[in-house]
A = this chain, B = another copy of it.
Amino acid sequence: MDFNHVINQRRAVNFFDTTQEIPEALIHQVIDMASKTPSSFNLQPWSLMALTHIEDKLRLQRHAMNQPKVSEAPVTFVVLGDRKGWTDENPFVERAFQEMIKTGAATDESRNWFSGARKKLYGGDEETQLAFACKNAGFFSMSLMLAAKSLGLDTHPMDGFDQAAVKKEFSIPDHYWIPVLIAMGYFDQTKVLSPPKWRKSVDDILVRFES
């Protein structure tokens, strides 16, 4: 599907067709496309819980202002950003480093440099670690929503949930932050899609602060 169509036609849909499942292979295809997202040092500090069973979706819905779309969508993703996704202890960090060695982007001697750079950029304080998790997981979430649309699927990103309660409900370790929930499925064609929302103009977006 043409990119211009994808970005212009993607809409947050409130109503999902509850009779249409998404084959697992298609869910995986969406995630695989989104996996191409760039990230800080290629650390990819994101994970997904993909809830497809009704019991799981209802467990989530209870902590998400009881929004029906959480369980009506065939799959609802809990997006996770890893605040510790830059540390020496994180297995994907070592993996990223080994892959850098393989491609010649690093040598075993640059291990200390790599560790120091990660600590300096992302490990400064709690704020920096949270920003690292949310920025990168934000990149990934956007790719996921666009990838879904390009494959004929609709999504709805949701902020209306209790962060602490969802983490507790699903035993999510504390170093993760949940930046967003994303319901994914097919728009219920018996409903009317609301008109496209207002967007800031290019002139609204561009700023300078110097006098």
Q: Most B CB atoms within 10 A — which of A49, A121, A202?
A: A202
State whether A171 and B210 are in contact (beta carbons under 8 Å apart), knowing that A126-B127, A204-B92 are contacts in the complex. Answer: yes
A26-77 with Cβ < 8 A to chain B? 28, 31-38, 40-42, 44, 46-50
A159 contact set on B, CB distance < 8 A = 40-41, 121-122
Query: So how many copies of this chain end up in the complex?
Result: 2
**Any chain B CB within 8 A of the CB of A19?**
no
Quick one: closest B residue to A78, CB to CB? Answer: B207
Cβ of A2 to closest chain B Cβ, rounded Å: 6
**Any chain B CB within 8 A of the CB of A189?**
no
A49 contacts which of B140, B143, B171, B206 (Cβ < 8 Å)? B206
**A210 touching B170 by the CB < 8 A rule?**
yes
Quick one: closest B residue to A42, CB to CB? Answer: B197
A127 contact set on B, CB distance < 8 A = 126-127, 130
CA distance A48 to B206 in the complex (A): 5
Q: Mark A85-113, 1 if CB is under 8 A from B, else 0.
A: 00000001001100100110100000000
**Any chain B CB within 8 A of the CB of A190?**
no
**B31 touching A202 by the CB < 8 A rule?**
yes
CA distance A147 to B205 in the complex (A): 16
Size class of the contact patch on chain A:
35 or more
**Any chain B CB within 8 A of the CB of A139?**
yes
**Any chain B CB within 8 A of the CB of A146?**
yes
**B130 touching A138 by the CB < 8 A rule?**
no
A180 contact set on B, CB distance < 8 A = 135
The 10 nearest A-B residue pairs measured at CB = A138-B138, A142-B142, A134-B134, A99-B198, A3-B150, A135-B179, A139-B142, A171-B209, A135-B138, A47-B207
Q: List 21 A-B contacts (CB under 8 A).
A: A3-B147, A4-B33, A7-B33, A7-B34, A7-B36, A7-B143, A8-B33, A10-B38, A28-B202, A31-B206, A35-B201, A35-B205, A37-B142, A47-B206, A99-B197, A103-B195, A130-B131, A135-B137, A135-B180, A140-B142, A171-B210
